[in-house]
Amino acid sequence: MSAIARRRERERAQRHQLIITAARELAEAEGWEAVTTRRLAEHVEYSQPVLYSHFNGKDAILRAVAIEGFGELAARLRRARLAAPEPSEAPSGAPSGALHAVCRAYLDFATERPALYQAMFVLPTDVKFAHAETPPPLRAAFDEFVSCFRSDNPRRELFAEVTWSALHGIAALADSGRIPPNGQTERLDFIVTQIAGTSSGPATR
Residue 2 interacts, among DNA, its own copies, none and using kind-specific CB cut-offs from 5 to 8 Å, with DNA
Q: Are 144 and 77 in contact (CB under 8 A)?
A: yes
Residue 181 interacts with its own copies (CB under 8 A)? Answer: no
Indicate which single residue of 57, 183, 201, 202 sits in contact with its own copies (rule: CB under 8 A): 183
Q: Smallest gap, in angstroms, from Cβ of residue 26 to its own copies? A: 17
Residue 204 CB neighbour total at 10 angstroms: 9
On whether the CB atoms of residues 110 and 44 are closer than 8 A, the answer is: no
Asked if residue 27 lies in contact with residue 35, where contact means CB atoms within 8 angstroms, the answer is yes
Instruction: Rank residues 55 and 159 by Cβ distance to its own copies and give the closer one.
Output: 159
Distance between CA 24 and CA 34 in Å, rounded? 11
- Among its own copies, DNA, none, residue 125 binds (CB under 5-8 Å by kind): its own copies
Name the residue nearer to its own copies (CB basis): 19 or 107: 107
18 CB burial (10 A radius; 0-12, 13-18, 19+): middle
- CB distance 85 to 100 below 8 Å: no
With CB under 5 to 8 Å by kind, the binding choice for 52 among DNA, its own copies, none is: DNA
Binding track, positions 69-108, relative to its own copies; x by CB under 8 A:
----------------------------------------
Q: How far apart are CA 118 and CA 54, in angstroms?
A: 23
Judged by beta carbon distances under 5 to 8 A according to partner kind, the member of DNA, its own copies, none in contact with residue 59 is DNA
Q: Which region, judged by CB under 7 A, interacts with DNA, from 18-26, 52-60, 123-131, 150-158?
A: 52-60
Tell me, residue by residue from 18 to 37, as one string, x for binding to DNA by CB under 7 A and - for no binding: -----------------xxx
Residue 169, interface with its own copies (CB under 8 A)?
yes
DSSP 50-83: HHHHHSSSHHHHHHHHHHHHHHHHHHHHHHHHHH
Interface residues with DNA (CB under 7 A) are: 2, 4, 8, 35-39, 46-50, 52-53, 57-59
